[in-house]
Structure formats: structure tokens, C-alpha cells
Structure 1
Amino acid sequence: MGVSILFSDSLLEYTPTPDPDPLTVSDQDPARLDITVGTRGGGSAYCKSIAVRIRIGDGADALTANRAQLTSAGPSGWTARPGYADGVWQVFEFVPARPVLFNGQSVTVTVSQIAVNAVPGNAEIEIVEEASPTDGSYTPKTVRATVAKFPAQFVFRNFRPTKVMVGNGEKAVLKWDGSADAQYTMFWDRTSRDVSSVREWPTPEPLTAPTGFMLQAKVTSGGQTLTHTLTTVVMVERPDLDVAALQVWGSADFRGDVSGLMELPPARPFHELVLAGTKQYAFTAAASGLVLLRVAGTLNQGWHANSEVLGPTYAKAAIWNDGAASQFRTATALCPIWKGTRVTLSVSGSSGIADGRAEFWWIPFGKVASPVA
């Protein structure tokens, strides 16, 4: 995403996500900024209020010049107070009915109807929390961040593998859509490579284990560097294991001597949701592992769809069509979950999406074939 946290001394953790992502300047459709609030590093904290401060103006460091159009919304049980001006900032306060204990869960606050101004750059936002570790002595703490605004014609989307899962020892092929005037760098396995000259890239070496890939786009505009990243994962059937330490609490089966390959269940889709309106599926995780969500469908002009995993952490994959004709779109995201936690899978978006679906794939930390008991 195109969001950078510059400074934070907060007790809670904040993940701002613009929609659309990335933002482009002078978009005719208003944008939205979702901020997911959760605990930092597995700790806990009480929260009395959260204020989101949006910088107003026509320049590169401001998000919008139209403060009057901005609106806000909070989660159930919270009051989203009307925005007010504070110099160059428009401030939106979100207040729960009583101080809320964050202890693993997360909520989302939203500022919407953002008419992104016409100057590319890194727009400033601030998040001010009133939080306490003990439900007392609430102290304001500030998170400073920037949201990248890209040039109007910038495109960077649909980063995906041609095959979600490959055989052990098989190369993967990754594709994406991207503007010609950006620099693209692929990161994987502590390695990076410049891929600016291509939009379809085979891995240099065969894969032997599930591998995450991060593709970073950089654009320079007005002396500022704008960065946006997309991620995906390629799973491997019967992967190799290379671990420093291993504890087995149950039974373990080895095919061959102890130096051989431990057989793990292959990754497989454990649930699907059709892209037609809003749907949810909730369960308590039977094991720890990774959920890979993949959303895909053929969209008419102006249609969109989102797929989300919400648990101890959060991941979202979104597709949309801003072109003039029907287009196939796909997106992926990765979300870790832990045994015993409550997990919700959901989809939302335009109805009538041809061949639209969200697939949820399971990458176990162990030998549990599905996260659903």
C-alpha cells in the first residue's frame, strides 16, 4: 500500500488503508480512508478516544482542499463526532460509549468523501489516541503518517501468480498491470531484482517451499518519491522444510529416515464465497497458519468487490473496474491466524459479477488439513 508510518509512540497499532488503493490525484470519484485499530505487539490497552486529523490544502502534503465534503463513520458502539477545523487540519473524533479494552481484537474507523487534490505527493495525516494500559491516566499519543497520492494516470494492480500452487521444484510466474513511468522491484526470500522492463516475470529458481513476493512501485513527482507495494504468495505442494528448531506435541510420521522430508498436508482451498452482495462465514480456528485469500471476477464499468479476513490480524483483497469495458480482475492477500481465535471471512461488492468468487486457501503451521474444526 501507499501508506508510511513516520512516527508513533502510541499504545495501539494503526493500519491506514486508502480506497481506492493507490490513490490518484483529481479522481472524479471521492476516496475513503479506513484505519484499522488493534493492539501493538500482542499487548493490551484501554482506549478512550481516537482522533483522525486530515491535512487540508492544495499542495503535495495535503490530502484534499475540500474539508466541507468530508464525512466519518465509526464501528458499532462508537460515536463518530462531526468534523471540525483546526488550522490546516480537519479533525474527526471517534469515542466509544465507555473505554474499550483492546486485547487482540480490532476495529475500523473511516473518513470518506475525500476529493483528492490535484498535486501528487505524500499527504500528511495524524492519529491521536487517548489510551492507557490500566484504564487510568489517559495520555494523548500521536501517530504521524503519510498517504501517497500518485499522478492521475498511474496504474499498479492485479499482482498475481499464474498458478496459486506449484509443485515442489517448479518455477512460478507472476504478472501485474503497471504504468510505464514507474520503477518496479521484486522482493522475495531476502532477495530483490529490478523488474521494471517486464509485466510477466518467472522466478529465477524453482520453488521448494511457500514463498511470499512483494512488488514495489516507485514514482518520482515534484521531487518526492511515491511508493506503493503489492504482495502475493505462491504455495508449494509437499514443501521442503528448513527450520532452526522444531517441537512436535503430537504424532509425527516420517517417510524415510530422520534426514528425509517430513510430509505436510498440501495447501488447499477450504472455503469459497460467491461475489454477490455481502456474505460472511465465521469459525474458530482449529490450528495456526496462514490464510491466502484470492478474489477474482469479470466486472462491468464502475463495479467493485472486496474480500476480507478478520481475526487477530486483518487482510483485504479488492478488485474494481475503472475502464470502459467489462474486464477480468483478480487480487490476493495473506493473513496469519492463531489456534483458538475467532475468524470471519467476508465478501462485499456489486451484484451480478460474472464468475465472481473469493477463494480462501490454507497454509498450515503443521499437519492440520483445515483451519475449520
Structure 2
Amino acid sequence: MSLVSQSVAGSAGEGNDAETAGVGTVLVYELSTEPDPVRVSPAEGAVERADLVIVGSRHSDSGIEARKLTVYIPTGTASAELALDLTGIAAQTSLPGWTPAADPTNQRIVFAPPSGTATIEPGQGVTIQLGGIRINRVVGSAPVVLELEYRAVGTSAWRTDTTTLGVGKFPAGFYLRNLRVDPLVVENGGTATLEWEASQGATYKLLYGTAEIDVTNRRDYPVTNIRQSTMFYLRAIAQAGNDHVERTLNVSVTVNKPDMVVRNLTIEGQLEATGPVQLFAAPQRIEAPFTGTAPSDGFLWAYVPRGQIRLYIGPDSTARRGVLVAGPDATYYGDQKRVAFPVRKGESVSINLEGGDGLFFWFSFGGLPLG
């Protein structure tokens, strides 16, 4: 189970390249808070305090030189501001020798190395701790922005990588925790039950696939007929006046031998099946005259023992090819009287009797009926 936190790519500085184009591509950040979640200060009296711990890591095979790491903490009394001010914040980092400097005017804390620059090696972790933040009194979500000034080792051009992490401020007494599922692994078509702990006074929704289910008045929910490994999201929406904040937990269920839906499948080796393989369902008999649209690729089989018939197959009802079947002037096969025509998904199909008689069958890739 984990907290889904917002991470938004910011604008890179001069020399923007592939390394700074994505979210956290120079340093990949994770944010945790204490308490979890952060709660707003009461309207009167002592303020609530919170600690932020931000862990960044360098997921690359090359190091970088850095000269400044800045954390912007929005201050004020609005919904989108986190702290009342920067007073009393205990800031530190795991980078050796780097020291913090508070800049209340610009609502930021700046970390810098003692020698002007420092190298962050591949795989090196960077931890930033901001303790004792005085949380303001309004529910909402505040953006904490990190800016890293860096350059590739051996180069001279400095760049700025910007990442935004959202910190929610929740009403007093709010909690959403301990989302769990039983069992963690189900057979194809099986059932799993989700359970969680949550406070009153908020709206809760369970989301998975295309489903969005209101579970405000529940603390468990059974999900049946699970055929694919699925990630479940439980979202809380806490409202206070015109301001709101969201918190989302997630948990996954693994399906043994799941159903698979793919757009294209290419097999470069041998295909082996442990069970029967069925390309076609049972053929569908079509009564003439007939007009319809093919729901999938397939083919239309015709047998004309007497007279002649005409088939029309094409992309739509106004752009079709006419095919005369059977008789001395037949378009295909002459007097053989039996013929199969390929039909693509979405094509229009019509069968007209022109003094003839026949049997017609639709063979569908996937078993969908012609209609």
C-alpha cells in the first residue's frame, strides 16, 4: 500500500534536454510526512506542526555536479499555501557539508555545498528533512517545489531541474489508512475483498478499470469476477467550505492465468497451446435477402444451387462492390456454385436474390454475429 502523491514536471532552465524534460529525471523524489496525513491548524490556539522528508535518488549511470538545491514552501493563509511562515523550520540534508539558508521573502530554503559545487554520484540518495513546519488553518493542497541547479560532469552549462510535490492539508480528525485486500492472489474469475479504516465527514470512492464506486458509507467492498491483475485506488475527498483536499491509497490484486486484451500480437517463435484453440465460433446462417455490418473480420460462405444471387461488400452502403455468384455470367467461380468471400470488420454486407436460391453462412474471427 502506498500514498499516491502529485508530481508535476516544471520548466527546465536553459539547455533543456532529454534529461530535464520529464518528471524527476535528474533526481527522482519521494515525499513522506509526519503526521501522515498533515492536518490544518485549529482556528484558534496552538498551531499544528508537520515534518516533511523528501528522498531523491539519481537513476543514471553518470554523475552530476550540483551547486544549489532549493525547496520552495508556499507561506500564507490560503488553501494553496502550506505554512504560516518559515519560522522555526529545522532544515537539513544528507549531502555532506551542505548547509541550509532560509529566505522568507522568496518563501524558500536554499541548500548549498561548502565548496561551491559538489558531485552527486550515480545511485546516490539525497534526503531533505524539514521539521516543525507551522501548518496554516485552511484545508487544501500546497505545491512544494524543488529546484536543482546542476550540470553534467565535465561540462560548463548549468541547468535547472524543477519538480513539484503536492502536500495535502486535511481537517482535524481526518484519517484514511490500512487499505488491504484479501486474498492478494486470486484465480481467474475470483473474488477479493478490500478493507480500510477511514474517518467520517469525507467522501470515499473506489476506482479500478473504468469503475468508480461510491463507498462513503462502507469500510469494505468485495470485488467479484476479477479476470485481470488489477490496481485498486481508494480516494478520499475532504471538504471544508469551498476548499477540498484529496488523499488516495492503492493496493493491487494479482490474477493467476489472467485474461489478456492486446491490440496487436506478433509471435516470432512457435505458438503452443495447452488447450483447444478456436479461431471461429460456430458459423451463423444468414437468411437472404440480408443487409448488415461485419462486427469483426471473417468470411461469408455462399452456396447457390439454382439461379444467381448478388453480393455487395464494401466499406459502407454507398461504396460497395457487387459480386454475381453462380450462372454463366458469374463474377467468380462460374458454375462451381460455392464460394467464400473475405470481409473486414466494419464492412457493409448485402445479399440480393436475383431469381436464385442459396445457403449463406458467416464465419467470424471471434464469434461475433453478422447483423
Distance, in Å, in 2 between the alignment partners of 1:253 and 1:78 is: 57
Distance, in Å, in 1 between the alignment partners of 2:234 and 2:252 is: 11
Alignment gaps of 5+ in structure 1:
261-373
For 2:134, the equivalent position in structure 1 comes to: 115
Distance, in Å, in 2 between the alignment partners of 1:222 and 1:44 is: 49
For 2:162, the equivalent position in structure 1 comes to: 142
Report the 3-state secondary structure (helix = DSSP H, G, I; strand = E; otherwise coil) of the residue aligned with 2:118: coil
User: CA distance change for structure 1 residues 187 and 79 in 2, over 3 Å: closer, same or farther?
Assistant: farther
Distance, in Å, in 2 between the alignment partners of 1:174 and 1:183 is: 17
Report whether the alignment pairs 1:230 with 2:255.
Answer: no
Distance, in Å, in 1 between the alignment partners of 2:41 and 2:71 is: 22
Q: TM-score, length-normalised on structure 1?
A: 0.58
User: CA distance change for structure 1 residues 138 and 64 in 2, over 3 Å: closer, same or farther?
Assistant: same
Distance, in Å, in 1 between the alignment partners of 2:278 and 2:126 is: 46
How far did residue 106 of structure 1 move? 5.1
Q: Deviations over 1:312-371 (max 9, x none)?
A: xxxxxxxxxxxxxxxxxxxxxxxxxxxxxxxxxxxxxxxxxxxxxxxxxxxxxxxxxxxx
Aligned partners of 1:71 and 1:83 also within 8 Å: no
Report whether the alignment pairs 1:32 with 2:51.
Answer: yes
Distance, in Å, in 2 between the alignment partners of 1:38 and 1:198 is: 39
Q: Deviations over 1:67-115 (max 9, x none)?
A: 332122323x44441331231514141549623255x665432222323
Q: Deviations over 1:263-285 (max 9, x none)?
A: xxxxxxxxxxxxxxxxxxxxxxx
For 1:84, the equivalent position in structure 2 comes to: 102
Distance, in Å, in 1 between the alignment partners of 2:106 and 2:242 is: 23
CA RMSD of aligned residues (A): 3.6
Distance, in Å, in 2 between the alignment partners of 1:47 and 1:176 is: 45
Report whether the alignment pairs 1:196 with 2:212.
Answer: no
For 1:363, the equivalent position in structure 2 comes to: none
Aligned partners of 1:212 and 1:231 also within 8 Å: yes
Aligned partners of 2:34 and 2:50 also within 8 Å: yes
For 1:9, the equivalent position in structure 2 comes to: 11
State which structure, 1 or 2, has the greater radius of gyration over its C-alpha atoms: 2
Distance, in Å, in 1 between the alignment partners of 2:228 and 2:129 is: 38
For 1:132, the equivalent position in structure 2 comes to: 151
Distance, in Å, in 2 between the alignment partners of 1:120 and 1:57 is: 13
For 2:35, the equivalent position in structure 1 comes to: 20
Report whether the alignment pairs 1:187 with 2:207.
Answer: yes
Alignment gaps of 5+ in structure 2:
13-19, 21-25, 280-371
Aligned partners of 1:83 and 1:91 also within 8 Å: yes
Aligned partners of 1:2 and 1:148 also within 8 Å: no
How far did residue 29 of structure 1 move? 7.3
Aligned partners of 1:50 and 1:95 also within 8 Å: no
* Alignment coverage as a number of residue pairs: 256
Aligned partners of 2:100 and 2:110 also within 8 Å: yes
User: CA distance change for structure 1 residues 242 and 146 in 2, over 3 Å: closer, same or farther?
Assistant: closer
Distance, in Å, in 2 between the alignment partners of 1:106 and 1:158 is: 28
How far did residue 130 of structure 1 move? 0.6
Distance, in Å, in 1 between the alignment partners of 2:262 and 2:40 is: 46
* Seq. identity, %: 25
Distance, in Å, in 2 between the alignment partners of 1:54 and 1:140 is: 18
Aligned partners of 1:7 and 1:145 also within 8 Å: no
Distance, in Å, in 1 between the alignment partners of 2:265 and 2:151 is: 38
Residue type at the aligned position of 1:206: N
